[in-house]
């Protein structure tokens, strides 16, 4: 008799990966589908990083590394935080895992007990909600809107905190909205949290380098919050290294110790070859990061201009990451004569089947009014995708 555990039976599949898979299936059938569903830079990993990985193989970096990561990579991460963020960490306060998602899972499982409340601003990245549930925590969703630029306010945060609140998840720049908290906005949240010492912040900063505002602000930048903030980052987005699976965590030593214990039972160390590549990324020529950032900014401006030609869609201009999160609720109840659009899932299936463009339903991110577009593709593909989408939307009456 087949039986899986209750915790896995209750776990939802990532809709981002599900839409990515549907897109690949249609492509395998010979259908020309443009994939705007997956959050992945289309750039190749820079050559000097790939060379470091090849050299690592030749140098026989093929044995277990320390559980927390190679010491020289830990030092490179420490220097990165000092150089780019003005944050001081010791080697006991940093560890390397198999991607930022792995870091998030480590922290969630190490921090949250059954019934603990975790404050989750919505729209949120798809995996936050499920990881909280996997840790048996209680998700307390804080809704935001187009009008608030998809960001929570200090008053909203204050009202949501209870004696059972254990953590707040923040993602800036945001997936899926691209919103970025300014220094003043982040400070206002930090002042609220100052009054509630039992609340920790899980700060997802994986899109740090894809920021068009000129300044990245971490909750850890506020002295009274540094010991209560777990900073999660990695090389996936900024260095076009999604498949290498290297993320890192900076946190108080007690949390690193707990996460390291958990990781020792799940994966041991992250890939040794990928760690050597990550070392090259963090210590090598950083101009590649800026070149990609400029390309993403150009693409954002291109897609913003094109989406402005689709009457009925409403979207903010993202200050970071590589996503748009348009409100498409004006099209709910409309039809092309064959398909009726009732929600964001219907809309994304319609765009996939009729326009051959893959997007992700907003329901996956906690807001069914919207859908997510990734503009991490070449300009010509973005132009073609938006032309197809416009035609599909124009057919809805």
Last residue of a domain, one of 237, 263, 283: 283
Tokens of 374: 């990734």
Which of 138, 142, 143, 219 shows the shortest CA–CA distance to 182?
219
Residue 52 lies in a domain: no
Shared domain check, 252 and 109: yes
Could you give the C-alpha distances from 53 to 98, 166, 281, 361, in angstroms and in order?
Answer: 16, 40, 11, 37
Classify the C-alpha dihedral 131-134-137-139 as positive or negative.
positive
Residue pLDDT tens, the chain, 397 long:
788 998 888 887 777 777 777 777 877 888 899 999 888 899 999 999 999 999 999 999 999 999 999 999 999 999 999 999 999 999 999 999 999 999 999 999 999 999 999 999 999 999 999 999 999 999 999 999 999 999 999 999 999 999 999 999 999 999 999 999 999 999 999 999 999 999 999 999 999 999 999 899 999 999 999 999 999 999 999 999 999 999 999 999 999 999 999 999 999 999 999 999 999 999 999 999 999 999 999 999 999 999 999 999 999 999 999 999 999 999 999 999 999 999 999 999 999 999 999 999 999 999 999 999 999 999 999 999 999 999 999 999 9
Shared domain check, 266 and 382: no
By CB atoms closer than 10 A (0-12, 13-18, 19+), residue 117 is: buried
Residue 319 lies in a domain: yes
Last residue of a domain, one of 283, 317, 339: 283
Domain that holds residue 257: 62-283
Which of 182, 189, 205, 242 shows the shortest CA–CA distance to 374?
242
CATH number of the domain residue 354 falls in: 3.90.1150.10
CATH number of the domain residue 66 falls in: 3.40.640.10
Shared domain check, 264 and 136: yes
Residue 49 lies in a domain: no
For 77-164, strand residue ranges (E) read 94-97, 117-122, 138-143
Shared domain check, 315 and 174: no
Shared domain check, 256 and 242: yes
Shared domain check, 199 and 114: yes
Shared domain check, 229 and 93: yes
Residue 53 lies in a domain: no
Q: Rounded to whole angstroms, how far apart are CA atoms 38 and 92? A: 34
The count of domains in the chain is 2
Tokens of 300: 């954002």
Shared domain check, 210 and 112: yes
């Amino acid at each position: 008799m087949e039986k899986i555990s209750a915790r896995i039976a209750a776990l939802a599949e990532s809709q981002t990966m599900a839409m990515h898979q549907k897109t690949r299936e249609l492509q395998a059938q010979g259908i020309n589908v443009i994939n705007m569903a997956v959050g992945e830079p289309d750039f190749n990993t820079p050559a000097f990083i790939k060379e470091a990985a090849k050299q690592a193989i030749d140098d026989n970096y093929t044995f277990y590394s320390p559980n927390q990561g190679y010491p020289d990579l830990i030092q490179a991460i420490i220097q990165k935080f000092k150089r780019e963020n003005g944050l001081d960490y010791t080697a006991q306060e940093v560890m390397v895992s198999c991607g930022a998602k792995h870091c998030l899972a480590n922290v969630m499982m190490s921090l949250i007990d059954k019934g603990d409340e975790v404050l989750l601003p919505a729209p949120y990245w798809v995996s936050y909600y499920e990881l909280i549930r996997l840790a048996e925590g209680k998700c307390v969703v804080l809704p935001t809107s187009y009008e608030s630029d998809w960001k929570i306010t200090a008053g909203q945060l204050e009202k949501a905190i209870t004696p059972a609140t254990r953590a707040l998840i923040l993602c800036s720049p945001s997936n899926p909205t691209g919103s970025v908290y300014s220094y003043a906005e982040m400070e206002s949240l930090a002042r609220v949290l100052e009054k509630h010492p039992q609340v920790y912040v899980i700060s997802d900063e994986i899109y740090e380098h894809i920021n068009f505002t000129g300044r990245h602000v971490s909750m850890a930048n506020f002295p009274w919050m540094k010991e209560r903030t777990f900073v999660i980052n990695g090389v996936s987005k900024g260095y076009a290294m999604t498949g290498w699976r290297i993320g890192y965590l900076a946190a108080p030593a007690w949390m690193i110790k707990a996460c390291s214990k958990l990781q020792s039972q799940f994966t041991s160390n992250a890939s040794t070859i990928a760690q050597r590549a990550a070392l090259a990324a963090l210590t090598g020529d950083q101009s590649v990061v800026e070149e990609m950032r400029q390309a993403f900014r150009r693409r954002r401006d291109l897609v913003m201009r094109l989406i402005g030609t689709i009457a009925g869609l409403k979207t903010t201009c993202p200050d970071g990451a590589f996503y748009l999160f348009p409100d498409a609720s004006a099209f709910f109840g409309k039809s092309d004569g064959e398909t009726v659009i009732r929600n964001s899932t219907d809309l994304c299936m319609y765009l996939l089947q009729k326009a051959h463009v893959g997007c992700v339903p907003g329901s996956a991110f906690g807001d069914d009014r919207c859908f997510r577009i990734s503009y991490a593709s070449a300009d010509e593909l973005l132009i073609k995708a938006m032309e197809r989408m416009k035609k599909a939307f124009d057919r809805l009456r």
